[in-house]
Amino acid sequence: MANLFAVSDLHVSHVDNRSVVDRLRPVSPDDWLIVAGDVGEKFADVEQSLAELRSRFAAVIWVPGNHELWTHPGDPVQLRGVARYDALVRMCRDNGVLTPEDDFPVWAGPDGPVVVAPLFQLYDYSFRAPGTATIQESLDRAYAVGVVCTDEKMLHPDPFPDRQSWCWDRLELSRRRLDAIDPALSTVLVSHWPLVRRPTRALRFPVFAQWCGTQLTADWHLRYRAVVAVYGHLHIPRTTRYDGVRFEEVSLGYPSEWRRRAAPPQPMRLVLEGAPS
For residue 193, the minimal CB distance to Fe ion (Å) is 7
Whole-angstrom Cα distance, residue 187 to residue 205? 32
What is the DSSP code (8-state) at residue 100?
T
State which residue, 10 or 116, has the beta carbon closest to Fe ion.
10
CA atoms within 13 A on the CB side of 101: 13
Nearer to Fe ion, 38 or 249 (CB): 38
Nearer to Fe ion, 141 or 192 (CB): 192
Smallest distance from Fe ion to CB 64, Å? 9
Helix, strand, coil shares, percent, the chain, to 5: 35, 20, 50
Instruction: Round to whole Å and give the CA distance between 100 and 272.
Output: 20
Residue-by-residue DSSP string for 35-65: E-S-S-SSHHHHHHHHHHHHHHSSEEEE---
Query: From residue 276, how far is each of 3, 80, 110, 157 by CA, in Å?
Result: 10, 45, 8, 45
Would strands 269-272 and 112-118 be described as parallel, antiparallel, or unpaired?
unpaired
DSSP result, 140-195:
HHHHHHT---THHHH---TTSSSHHHHHHHHHHHHHHHHHTS-TTSEEEEE-SS-S
Smallest distance from Fe ion to CB 148, Å: 14
CB of 194 to Fe ion, least distance (A): 11
Report in angstroms how near the CB of residue 260 gets to Fe ion at its nearest: 16
DSSP designation for 261: S
In terms of residues, how long is the chain? 277
Question: For residues 11 and 225, which CB has a smaller minimum distance to Fe ion in the complex?
Answer: 11
State which residue, 108 or 205, has the beta carbon closest to Fe ion. Answer: 205
Cβ closer to Fe ion: 156 or 233? 233
> Residue 251 CB, nearest distance to Fe ion (Å)?
6
Please report, as ranges, the residues that interact with Fe ion according to CB under 5 A.
9, 38, 65-66, 233
- Shortest Å, Cβ 158 to Fe ion: 20
When the beta carbons of 223 and 259 are compared against Fe ion, the nearer one is 259
